[in-house]
Amino acid sequence: MQEIVNTINGYIWSSALIYLCLGAGLFFTVVTRFVQVRHFSEMWRLLMSGKSSEQGISSFQALAVSLSGRVGAGNIAGVAAAIGFGGPGAVFWMWIVAFFGAATAYIESTNAQIYKEEHDGKYHGGPAYYIEKAMGQKWYAWVFAIATIIATGIMLPMVQSNTIGTAIEQVFGGEAVMSTAFGMISYAKLYTATAIVLLLGFIIFGGIKRIAHFTQVVVPFMALAYILISLIIIGLNIDQLPRVVMLIIGDAFTPMAGVGAAIGWGVKRGVYSNEAGQGTGPHAAAAAEVEHPAQQGLVQAFSVYIDTLFVCSATAFMILITGTYNVHGVGDAFIVQNLAADVITNGPAYTQLAVDSVFTGVGKPFVALALFFFAFTTLLAYYFIAENNVYYIKRTLKLPAAIFILKVIIISATFYGTVKAANIAWGMGDIGVGLMAWLNIIGIIIIFFMSKPALKALKDYERQQDEGVEHFTFDPKALGIENATFWEERLEKSSSEKSET
Angle in degrees, CA 396, 147, 197, rounded to 5: 100
Q: Residue 149: is its pLDDT beyond 70?
A: yes
Q: How many CA atoms lie within 13 A of 401 on its CB side?
A: 3
Pairing of strands 122-124, 177-180: unpaired
Task: Kindly report the CATH number that applies to the domain delimited by 1-466.
Answer: 1.20.1740
Of 483, 396, 434, give the one whose Cα is nearest residue 135: 483
Q: At what angle do helices 293-304 and 40-49 cross, to 10 degrees?
A: 110
User: Is the model's pLDDT at 118 over the cut of 70?
Assistant: yes
7 pLDDT tier (thresholds 50, 70, 90): confident
Q: What is the pLDDT of residues 182-233, one digit of tens each?
A: 566 777 788 888 888 888 888 887 766 666 677 667 767 777 888 888 889 9
Question: What is the reported pTM?
Answer: 0.84
* Each residue's pLDDT tens digit, 29-88: 999 999 999 998 898 888 766 555 445 555 666 666 655 555 566 677 778 888 888 888
Query: What is the rounded distance in angstroms from the CA atom of residue 101 to the CA atom of residue 269?
Result: 13
Please, what is the Cα angle at 90 between 4 and 62, to 5 degrees?
Answer: 85
pLDDT digits (tens, 9 = 90+) for 452-469: 999 999 999 999 999 998
pLDDT 10s digits, 315-325 = 899 999 999 98
List the chain domain ranges: 1-466
- Write the pLDDT tens digit of every residue in 253-277: 766 655 556 666 666 656 655 566 7
